[in-house]
Amino acid sequence: MKLLFALFSGLLVAELLVVLLFGFKLELIVFCFVVAVAMTGMLVVMRLLLQHRAEIDSVSSRRAKAKRSDVMRDRLREYSVDEEFLGGESYTREKGGSPATSAAESRSSRNPSASESTVTIEEAIKAHAEVYGGLGELLQMMEKIDDGAFGHLLKKVGLYEISREEVILKITLMIEAESPALGNAADFQGEEPCILEGHTLDKESFDDYIRRCMTGAEDDEKCGDGISVDLDDAALSRGTGSPPEDFEHNPKSVIASLKRAGMKP
């Protein structure tokens, strides 16, 4: 504002001098006016450019300014400030803290111990496996998501400095650890012996099994618990049952026997 005031004051003085020295000549008055306006515009534009360039601060510079306030200091405690991007500004650190101390505190807060990190990874994997329907589905999801979504997921569960490969490897190891357990559980259930043991499902083996079961009593031991259907003459001749005395194949004899029993044909 002061610059504009000075420029317009100079324009007024120049116009008065032109009038006093040369009288009311329109050409000189317009010329002085145009020159003054052009100079004013150039100075205003330069001022705006310099002011706009000064307002472009880096992320670290804005973060350092925000950390100076007590309200934002706690919120931005986990975020580090890169001194290379601060420019000529001086960064006021927390009271009693040196640059090395604050950097160490930031790293210690962001990087937990190895044991705590391992336990946290397993708990997070188990919790998300229940949501996504199992470890296999969670592994497929981890392989498909991009880096941005993976980083957001890590921040959500509270994990830091863990790569995607480490998480995928951990899920794979957990899947392999559960597979033998499922196999051992199936062994304890026990299996009933199959009567077709020693035979495959192809036609020749099945026909051989049927043939052995149909041959009679001499192969009963080979058939095991299978069903033997003895339809040959030798097996019928060994039967213990005897037909009735008046049994005949003649239809008249059958009708007569039914009448004797009190039944109508």
Residues 119 and 180 placed together within one structural domain of the fold: yes
User: Quick one: 180 exposed, middle or buried, by C-beta within 10 A (0-12, 13-18, 19+)?
Assistant: exposed
Give, for 224, the enclosing helix (H) or strand (E): none
User: Token pair 């002061």 is at which residue?
Assistant: 2
Q: Span 81-91, mean pLDDT?
A: 51
pLDDT reported for residue 108? 47
Is 210 a member of any domain? yes
Is 78 a member of any domain? no
pLDDT reported for residue 193? 47
DSSP labels, 185-223:
HHHHT--PPPTTTT--SSHHHHHHHHHHHHS-GGGHHHH
pLDDT tens column, 106-134:
544 444 444 444 446 777 787 777 777 78
What is the extent of the structural domain holding 149? 114-188
pLDDT reported for residue 223? 47
Is 18 a member of any domain? yes
Q: Span 126-155, mean pLDDT?
A: 79
Count of CB atoms situated within 10 Å of the CB of 111: 12
Q: Which range among 50-54, 88-92, 177-181, 260-264 shows the weakest confidence by mean pLDDT?
A: 88-92
Given 40, 55, 70, the domain boundary residue is 55
Is 93 a member of any domain? no
Residues 180 and 122 placed together within one structural domain of the fold: yes
Long-range contacts of 209-214 (CB under 8 A, 24+ apart): none
Measured CA to CA, the distance from residue 146 to residue 137 in angstroms comes to: 16
Given 142, 160, 188, the domain boundary residue is 188
Is 183 a member of any domain? yes
Residues 139 and 182 placed together within one structural domain of the fold: yes
Residues 180 and 207 placed together within one structural domain of the fold: no
Is 10 a member of any domain? yes
Measured CA to CA, the distance from residue 112 to residue 121 in angstroms comes to: 12
Residues 122 and 183 placed together within one structural domain of the fold: yes
Given 10, 26, 55, the domain boundary residue is 55
Residues 177 and 236 placed together within one structural domain of the fold: no
The more confident residue out of 110 and 236 is 236
What's the CA dihedral at 60, 63, 67, 73 to 10 degrees?
-120
Assign 155 a pLDDT band (cuts: 50, 70, 90).
confident
Is 33 a member of any domain? yes
**Tell me, what DSSP letter sits at residue 84?**
G
pLDDT reported for residue 184? 53
Is 37 a member of any domain? yes
Count of CB atoms situated within 10 Å of the CB of 150: 16
Percent of the chain with pLDDT over 70: 49
Measured CA to CA, the distance from residue 143 to residue 96 in angstroms comes to: 45
Count of the separate structural domains present in the chain: 3
